[in-house]
Amino acid sequence: MEATGTDEVEKIKSKFMSAWHNVKYSWVLKTKTYFSRNSPVFLLGKCYHFKTDEPTEQSPNGSNYDVTEDGISRNVEEFRKDFISRIWLTYREEFPQIKGSALTTDCGWGCTLRTGQMLLAQGLILHFLGRGKFPKLENYDWTWPDAFVIENPDSESWTSHTVKKLTASLEASLTGEREFKNQPGPPKQIPKGDWGKRESRDEHYHRKIISWFGDSPLANFGLHRLIEYGNKSGKMAGDWYGPAVVAHLLRKAVEEARDPELQGITIYVAQDCTVYKSDVVEMQYSFMDSEKSDAKSVIILIPVRLGGERTNMEYLEFVKGILSLEYCIGIIGGKPKQSYYFAGFQDDSLIYMDPHYCQSFVDVSIKDFPLESFHCPSPKKMSFKKMDPSCTIGLYCPNVQGFERASEEITKILKASSKEKYPLFTFVNGHSKDYDFVMSPTQEERALSSEDENKKLKRFSTEDFVLL
């Protein structure tokens, strides 16, 4: 009875925390973010200009107002649709209980896991749907057709809705435990006869990618599965996870995924700020099915530190250079004790998606489950100097040739931005074993629980947002 009482207290406490985080962060979705018309905006390798300077016959001096405004409008709309089409994964509540705990929400502790999920989701979008130089079928940039259907929620009504939900959930907690009869399972398959249409194929993969991140023990990359892998390294549900830890959890999740469609992609995590090129290529050719002739696509995750206690501003140009590459699938980073998914920049400000909003559990196994809560209605900006130095960079390479090109381009950026003798990380020829560096499973588990982020837990900072 005592254990049961403790569980009830923890559940009620988690409901209060969910409500508090909603009140705390809901205004962020309402607040407008301002962008300069005079500087380009980069979003995961794509560049958008919000002004047009080209003259017309009617305006030889280039001052035609209508042409300029039309050009701005088109670029703003294209940028908005591109941003909204990225997959947004946030705190959730009322999902199936996490094994080994009484938790049914990740509010207050799961933000880095969520930003890691967003980075992986972007890699899967490139892999299955296409973007820029990474089309799966032809030169095609996928965007969500219903992106502009999303409206910014009103903060006042959202907050009052939160209070009502809290009251209802507290009453429910006193009468009995909610049962989850519909556990998320594999997404519904679209009949092969309908695959002739591009829209059907796109919707299939759009929904399938989201379903892989469902809040269910069955989801390949869901919170429950990531925490399960973290348990083997001493991490528990409710613990704070750093960017480097999450990189290894994502690698393990992709490695263990049994969905046939996920066998064509793998994850490599850099070792000691070094990418060993032969190890990456070996992973790309590691198909168990001998009938497969193509190499695997690879997502490369590189945990780095951009300074000591604070981010060194010398790394700004490097970060901007990485985010301007189409190989980049984002950065797991943030401010101290707050993780954000960085996806772009303008001038000296980073563009990000914020996971710190608690939304209700969505059963992704049902047919036509709602997609709106998985897409962020508006981007946010943060000054680079407020970024925490600990982060993980994500890259996507569709094949071996793509990896070679990416390593060449990134090496140039590293050399151009490095004013010191040693770059932030390196690409080297050969295998890690050639350099007497082999990470055993025991060493890897130790690395997950003893990284620099443990020092960060002792520090607190203000949680103001920089809106430029």
Task: Tell me which residues are annotated as active site.
Answer: 111, 354, 356
Instruction: Report the run of H or E that residue 381 belongs to, with start and end.
Output: strand 380-383
Single out the residue of 283, 330, 302 nearest to residue 115, CA to CA: 330
How buried is residue 245: exposed, middle or buried, by Cβ count under 10 Å (0-12/13-18/19+)? Answer: buried
Work out whether strand 274-276 and strand 426-428 pair parallel, antiparallel, or are unpaired.
Answer: parallel
Q: Which of 70, 80, 84 is nearest to 48 (CA)?
A: 80
Please state, in angstroms and rounded to a whole number, the distance separating the CA atoms of residues 259 and 245: 24
**Whole-number CA gyration radius for the chain:** 23
For the chain, the maximum distance between any two Cα atoms, rounded to a whole number of angstroms, is 83
Helices (H), 97-242: 111-128, 155-175, 198-211, 223-231
User: In this structure, how many other beta carbons lie within 10 angstroms of the beta carbon of residue 155?
Assistant: 16
What six digits make up the tokens of 302? 């590189």
The sign of the dihedral angle between the CA atoms of 255, 259, 263, 264 is negative
